[in-house]
Amino acid sequence: MASRIPPFAVIPGSQVHQVLTGQEERVIELIEEAYQVHGDGDTVNPPSYFLRFPDRPTSRIIALPASIGGRTQVDGLKWISSFPENVNSGIPRASAVVVLNDQETGYPIACMESSIISAARTAASAVLATGWLTRERVRPRRVGFFGTGFIARYIHSYLRGAGWSFDEIGVHDLSREHANGFRSYLERSAADGRITVHEKPEELIRSSDLVVFATVAGTPHVSEVEWFSHNPTVLHVSLRDLAPEIVLKSANVVDDVEHCLKADTSLHLTEQAVQNRDFVDGTLFDVMSGRLRLPDDRPVVFSPFGLGVLDLVVSKHVYDMVRERGELAIINDFFHEVSRYGEDKVSGEHA
């Protein structure tokens, strides 16, 4: 029997936001499941492709193709742009869409606004890692945010949604205006703990048990090993903040080794410097499965490159929820040529 062409839908950010708001714990569960499926080998997650521009060297658009099995069973692509100069105009740095493909026919079934999905899966991954990486360490009571944009806000929201609370919240950004804006967000959200805006990065790092790097840095800018002498847990979400000296003095956990050691990330630069990968202790899946025990006498750094399968699992969840509510905006006749030999739709005769 011939496969039926599935309907194609467009899901705007308003629907994505509606589905995911207040669902932090559920999204974290989805991300944990995706890591399990990836660790078990039931995914295809090829290297990301970076589209760069000679006339706009700070900007890029990244394609993340992926396929995931397990309970999700979907293929797809995230197409996400990063234009740092946007913040000067008061709009977010990143914008994104996800295209989901039916695994039976290969036909796209949805195009979705994905900046929210991307932020949610990034935050959920970071919070999931926080729980696993601190399971046998002292629970962090002081969190510091280095970089105060969209991703930092989502990570804080997901920490709260997962039940984390802190005695102190530190904030640092190169822009005092952005730092104060993040502080205002924290105050509006009734965040637990005393809020401090730190003028210097050293102050933020030394005063934090959990350090969140969520910057737009393209090259390492933190190289002072002594700042980490209290052995904090570090969520190195932006990937390019830490100099090789710090990487080499830390226990390093990644989401996927091959993905993380490329594109001039801090870990990639470290590999180039020492000509080996011995400094990588393992993956988050290794920690989750009990194959990796973490030391308490070194900083623990989690560097997640951001796997496309994470975007797919959250996107498919949103798609399923919108469909179950009967709210999918189907684009009728999106695929116009639906017959291999051009049969007339009415008569069935060849055109």
Q: What is the pLDDT of residue 2?
A: 52
Q: Residue 350 falls within a domain, yes or no?
A: no
Same domain, 245 and 319: no
Residue ranges making up the domain that contains 317: 9-117+308-330
Q: pLDDT, tens digit, for every residue of 24-49?
A: 999 999 999 999 999 999 999 999 99
pLDDT over 70 (residue 351):
no
Which CATH number belongs to the domain containing residue 256 in this structure?
3.40.50.720
**223-227: which pairs have CB atoms within 8 A and are 24 or more residues apart?**
225/249, 227/201, 227/202
pLDDT over 90 (residue 281):
yes
Percent residues over pLDDT 70 in the chain: 97
Beta bridge partners of 77: 65, 99
CB-based contact 169:195 (threshold 8 Å) = yes
Helix, strand or coil, per DSSP, at residue 114: coil
Q: What is the pLDDT of residue 88?
A: 85
Q: Residue 52 falls within a domain, yes or no?
A: yes
Same domain, 67 and 149: no
Q: DSSP class of residue 335?
A: S
Q: pLDDT, tens digit, for every residue of 165-210?
A: 999 999 999 999 999 999 999 999 988 899 999 999 999 999 999 9
Q: What is the pLDDT of residue 133?
A: 97
What's the mean pLDDT in 13-31? Answer: 97
**Which residue type, as a one-letter code, is found at position 148?**
T
Q: Residue 71 falls within a domain, yes or no?
A: yes
Q: What is the pLDDT of residue 277?
A: 97
Q: Residue 3 falls within a domain, yes or no?
A: no
Is residue 171 classed exposed, middle or buried when 0-12, 13-18 and 19+ CB atoms within 10 A define those classes?
A: buried
CA dihedral 264, 47, 102, 43 (to 10 degrees): -110
Same domain, 72 and 155: no
Q: Residue 319 falls within a domain, yes or no?
A: yes
Same domain, 322 and 270: no
Percent residues over pLDDT 90 in the chain: 86
Same domain, 158 and 258: yes
Q: Is the dihedral of CA 47, 49, 54, 59 positive or negative?
A: negative
Q: What is the pLDDT of residue 343?
A: 64
pTM of the model: 0.91
Number of H helices, E strands in the chain: 11, 16
What's the mean pLDDT in 317-343? Answer: 89
Which CATH number belongs to the domain containing residue 53 in this structure?
3.30.1780.10
Match 């194609």 to its residue by tokens. Answer: 8
Strand pairing category for 74-82 and 94-101:
antiparallel
- Count other Cβ atoms within 10 Å, centred on residue 131: 15
What's the mean pLDDT in 40-63? Answer: 94
Q: What is the pLDDT of residue 147?
A: 97
What's the mean pLDDT in 46-59? Answer: 93
User: For residue 10, what are its two tokens?
Assistant: 């467009």
Same domain, 104 and 135: no
- Count other Cβ atoms within 10 Å, centred on residue 85: 11
Same domain, 203 and 231: yes
CB-based contact 145:214 (threshold 8 Å) = yes
Give the chain's domain count: 2
Q: What is the pLDDT of residue 314?
A: 98
Q: What is the pLDDT of residue 230?
A: 97
Least confident of 93-107, 132-146, 257-271, 329-343: 329-343
Contacts with 235 (C-beta within 8 Å, 6 or more apart), sequence order: 126, 129, 130, 155, 210, 211, 212, 213, 302
Same domain, 51 and 76: yes
Q: What is the pLDDT of residue 347?
A: 39
Match 């974290």 to its residue by tokens. Answer: 28
Buried b (16+ CB within 10 A) or exposed e, 303-320: bbbbbbbbbbbbbbbbbe
Q: Is the dihedral of CA 303, 208, 213, 219 positive or negative?
A: negative
Q: What is the pLDDT of residue 87?
A: 83
28/18 Cα distance (integer angstroms):
17
Same domain, 149 and 244: yes
What's the mean pLDDT in 314-330? Answer: 97
pLDDT over 80 (residue 65):
yes
Q: What is the pLDDT of residue 9?
A: 98
Q: Residue 175 falls within a domain, yes or no?
A: yes
The larger pLDDT score, comparing residue 336 to residue 151, is at 151
Same domain, 326 and 210: no
Q: Residue 348 falls within a domain, yes or no?
A: no
Q: What angle, rounded to 10 degrees, do the helices at 308-324 and 24-39 form?
A: 130
Same domain, 186 and 42: no
Match 């599935």 to its residue by tokens. Answer: 6
pLDDT over 80 (residue 163):
yes
Q: Residue 191 falls within a domain, yes or no?
A: yes
Mean pLDDT of the chain: 94
Which DSSP string corresponds to 254-313?
A: ES-HHHHSSTT-HHHHHHHHHSS-TTEEEEHHHHHTTS----SSS-EEEE----HHHHHH
Same domain, 200 and 289: yes
pLDDT over 70 (residue 348):
no
User: For residue 323, what are its two tokens?
Assistant: 């469909």
